[in-house]
Amino acid sequence: MANFEIPKAYEPQKYEDSLYQKWEESGFFNPDNLPGRRQKSFTISLPPPNATGVLHIGHAVMLAIQDLVIRFQRLQGKKTLWLPGTDHAAIATQTKVEKLIKDKEGKTRFDLGREDFLKRVNDYVKKSQNTIKNQIRKMGSSCDWSRERYTLDQGLTLAVHTAFVEMYQDGLIYRRVRVVNWCPRCHSTLSDDEVEYRSVKEKLYWIKYGPFILATARPETKLGDTAVAVHPSDKRYTKYVGQKIMIPGVLGDFEITVVADGAVDPQFGSGVIKVTPAHDFTDFEIAQRHNIAFKQVIDEDGKMMANCGKYAGKTTWQCRQAIVADMQKMGLIEKIEDYDHNLSVCYRCETPIEPIPSKQWFINVTKPIDKFGGKTLKDQALAVVKDGEIKIIPDRFEKVYYHWLENLRDWCISRQLWFGHRIPVYYRKQANSKSETLNPKQQEEIYVGIEPPKGERWVQDPDTLDTWFSSGLWTFSTLGWPEKTKDLTTYHPTDLMETGYDILFFWIARMIIMSTYLLNDVPFRTVYLHGLVRDEQGRKMSKSLENTIDPLDMIKKYGADATRLSLIIGNTPGNDMNISEAKIAGYRNFVNKLWNISRYILMRASSVQLIEKPLQPKTLADNWILFELDNLIDFAAKNLSEYNFSIVGEKIYEFTWLKLADWYVEISKVKSQNSKLTEEILLYILQVLLKLWHPFCPFVTEQIWGQLHSKELLIVQPWPKPLNKINQKVIKDFDLIQNIITAIRNLRVEVKLAPGQKTKAIVISSKAKLILGQVEIIKSLARLDDLKILTKSQKLAKSFSAIIAGAEIYLPVSGMMDIVKEVKRLEAEAQQAKNFISHLQQKLENKRFLERAPKEIINAEKDKLAINQNRLEKIEQQLKTLR
């Protein structure tokens, strides 16, 4: 016995923080400090959480998976870099701070002014940024904090400006008036992807429209109508096409043009639509095709403009009520129907979107780029996935990606937010201008550059860039781009991008677009998409349902290792997973089991040391467990490098608990097995197992490793190598021994023997020699005081029996025996065997089966038949004896 004490139960809270500190101090999170010669690099860019965020279960999955991969690759001898950072998340952060100020002081950002407001936001970010970073540490994430970045820091800002200028110079960034998604609350544009849809019950108004009757969900936009459109082949309306018609309206008659356009569905409604070019995307396009004027009637606050007469100043909703009432009075409403409608809302504040015309900056995704041989941004982004330069897991998302890209329209990148990267564009104010704050967008003279231009009267564009513009550069801006740094050449392209499928478009696609254009290279080789985490009933977690699971609570209660295991095992890529506290508690139990297995091994070892020399297994059990371990090492390495995490976790779990703890450890307690070799084998298995488990549950494994008198931490150990010495036959042999033991235990329960009570047993088997060799083990694990082994069947006194493949087992009767019950049990078994035999016989009599099935299958079926026929025979003999 070793002369040290290990606590009976593993208490993660006692060790985790100091272990993390030890790792950080070791410097091994930084690839530059890793020991040994490491040629290949392996890089992951951490998807940067919002700087003001707090760790939620979604982050926890992401961190668990990425840390698993990075730790595995580190054990594999790679130069591993996991680069962390935070995102300024322009719209999310600004919205959050605006709300805080509104709630506390009742002020808007406009009350404070740009400068003050930004100061408040930056202070808030600074204050809360450490929260998320420390929470990332709590998960055990082995990321290189020395390379940590923030999307608004100096280097990344330079990258953003450089990217903008380069794209502008290549003509890929342009400014134009178009109808854009406008959030009246944020007071900003949104990209198409930042718009979400809510299905709502609304009204559909059928209105009389001059000679037409048509339906609209938004009668207030009638004030901005300039045309009516019908389908070119719709004969009903041909006579009107090209005409200008006066339409009676609530503000008097107004003139519209009738146009024919393919966008109209003649089957739908009356086949006529009113065209409001300024406040509808389709209508804007129709108007452009037919050169129709547009009339803006809704302003940036979502209110009706001065040109709307008595409706001016009303919100669109108020205006709708008023205008409908007025139209009803005028008899212009034909009917009103209930209507299920998709309402577009802002993805950050849920405010309904108003399409309004506005002059904004866009990225042209369909312009041929000279230096790429005429390929467009779209083409390039499509090609790298189609050509397999980037692999998406699971691959079904590749289709989703193609579909999105193929339908991508120009990306609106300017935002009227204050928080974010200011657009590096400057306008020259006219010298004679009186106004101090002249709207720069009306100026003609423009300068686009990384640094502000020299000279007088230059005013910077007030707008900021879409937050996804800067995160699109994340994989390389964090490595020093636009400088040609050593990090950039060493670690880019990154190897893995691991994130939720919900930001495939927002982020993954944008990164690919930006990287293929700016670096002429992919940002990453593999994309692994995880699913959403839901509650145990599969519901989305939300505060209102009170079903959220806070990973920090779980870490406190069950430990980071258990939390990680529960998020990885049973989780497959692309599919949502359900999680419950019970599941986490289950893995807490497992972690404790691993702890106690180690405790047993360490306490029984006469000297604890790393096993470096090759082992020579002696017994059947030794050979068996080492064979299983060898298989496990290979299986784990292969599948982890292919990103099959769950199955690997399950297999190591099965090995640890069901094979090692339940069998080998129990066998090692048998007196006859008590040898120095057994101790060494146990130590060896432990040392291998800790390495295999380390990527999954780093804390407990590192803590146990600390007992093994290793010079170096577990985190930088080499991945284990299989011994490759073992004979396959041991599996079958050991199987028989296991089955005999289980069968006896089974009989003991059947017979209601007290667990502590020893009994006698007789085993009849052709493999008597094998069994004889394991007699001590069988006696011990099955609690026998005597085991008789016979080769041939012979007449025995009445006894309980278990007939298994390869052996007959008899338990002599002590006292009275319920013969009727025992006969019943055996008859049931006989019947089962008969059914199976006839099933096999049918199969083997089928000519087509014999002709077409592969030889191995046929032979396997024949073997099964023989075994079961033999078994049936034995059962019937026993039945005869009993009767």
Partner RNA sequence: GGGCUCGUAGCUCAGCUGGUUAGAGCGCAUGAUUCACAUUCAUGAGGUCAGAGGUUCAAAUCCUCUCGAGCCCACCA
Residue 713: count other Cβ atoms within 10 Å of its Cβ.
16
Whole-angstrom distance, CA of residue 308 vs CA of residue 292: 20
Contacting RNA within 630-649 (CB under 7 A): 647
215 binds RNA (CB under 7 A): yes
875 binds RNA (CB under 7 A): no
Binding part of the chain for RNA, among 108-116, 575-583, 679-687, 791-799 by CB under 7 A, reads 575-583
Burial of 391 (0-12, 13-18, 19+ CB in 10 A): middle
Q: What are phi and psi of 92, to 5 degrees?
A: -65, -45
- The answer to whether the beta carbons of residues 387 and 200 sit under 8 Å apart is no
Binding part of the chain for RNA, among 151-159, 163-171, 210-218, 306-314 by CB under 7 A, reads 210-218
575 binds RNA (CB under 7 A): yes
Contacting RNA within 582-611 (CB under 7 A): 582-583, 586, 588-589, 591-593, 596-597, 599-600, 603-604
Closest CB 84 distance from RNA, rounded Å: 28
Contacting RNA within 342-371 (CB under 7 A): 342
Contacting RNA within 496-515 (CB under 7 A): 502, 505
Interface pattern 317-346 for RNA (x via CB under 7 A): ------------------------xx----
Count the residues of the shown chain that bind RNA, applying the rule CB under 7 A.
Answer: 88
Q: Name the strand (E) or helix (H) holding 760.
A: strand 759-764
Among 376, 706, 836, 869, interactor with RNA by CB under 7 A: 836
Interface pattern 383-412 for RNA (x via CB under 7 A): -------------x--xx--xx--x-----
Among 650, 712, 827, 863, interactor with RNA by CB under 7 A: 650
Is 717 strand, coil or helix? coil
Interface pattern 790-819 for RNA (x via CB under 7 A): ---------------x--------------
537 binds RNA (CB under 7 A): yes
543 assigned binding-site residue: yes
Contacting RNA within 35-74 (CB under 7 A): none
Helical spans, DSSP H, in 559-671: 560-568, 581-604, 620-641, 645-653, 666-668
Sheet holding 446-448, edge to edge: 446-448, 425-428, 458-460
Contacting RNA within 414-473 (CB under 7 A): none
SS3 sequence of 783-837? CEEEEEEECCCCCCCCEEEEEECCEEEEEECCCCCCHHHHHHHHHHHHHHHHHHH
Nearer to RNA, 193 or 733 (CB): 193
Contacting RNA within 180-199 (CB under 7 A): 192-193, 197
Nearer to RNA, 329 or 399 (CB): 399
Nearer to RNA, 266 or 722 (CB): 266
Question: What is the CB-side half-sphere exposure of residue 360 using CA atoms within 13 A?
Answer: 25
Q: Which two tokens stand for residue 431?
A: 């010298």
Q: What is the DSSP letter of 139?
A: T
Residue 873: count other Cβ atoms within 10 Å of its Cβ.
14
Question: DSSP letter string over 499-564?
Answer: EEGGGIIIIIIHHHHHHHHHTSS-SEEEEEEE--EE-TTSPBP-TTTT----HHHHHHHH-HHHHH
Contacting RNA within 267-306 (CB under 7 A): 267-271, 273-274, 281-282
Closest CB 786 distance from RNA, rounded Å: 19
486 binds RNA (CB under 7 A): no
Is 43 strand, coil or helix? strand
Nearer to RNA, 534 or 788 (CB): 534
Nearer to RNA, 110 or 197 (CB): 197
Binding part of the chain for RNA, among 159-167, 259-267, 378-386, 465-473 by CB under 7 A, reads 259-267
Q: What is the DSSP letter of 210?
A: T
566 binds RNA (CB under 7 A): no
Whole-angstrom distance, CA of residue 874 vs CA of residue 327: 94
Among 243, 439, 616, 846, interactor with RNA by CB under 7 A: 846
Whole-angstrom distance, CA of residue 252 vs CA of residue 266: 29
832 binds RNA (CB under 7 A): yes
Whole-angstrom distance, CA of residue 282 vs CA of residue 284: 5
Q: List all residues 6 or more positions away from 575 whose beta carbon is below 8 Å from its beta carbon.
A: 531
- The answer to whether the beta carbons of residues 765 and 808 sit under 8 Å apart is yes
Binding part of the chain for RNA, among 237-245, 287-295, 513-521, 657-665 by CB under 7 A, reads 657-665
Interface pattern 746-785 for RNA (x via CB under 7 A): x--x----xxx-----------------------------
- Positive or negative, the CA dihedral 665, 667, 671, 677 is negative
Among 57, 143, 214, 292, interactor with RNA by CB under 7 A: 214
- The answer to whether the beta carbons of residues 837 and 869 sit under 8 Å apart is yes
222 binds RNA (CB under 7 A): no
Q: Which residues are annotated as a binding site?
A: 543
Binding residues for ATP: 543
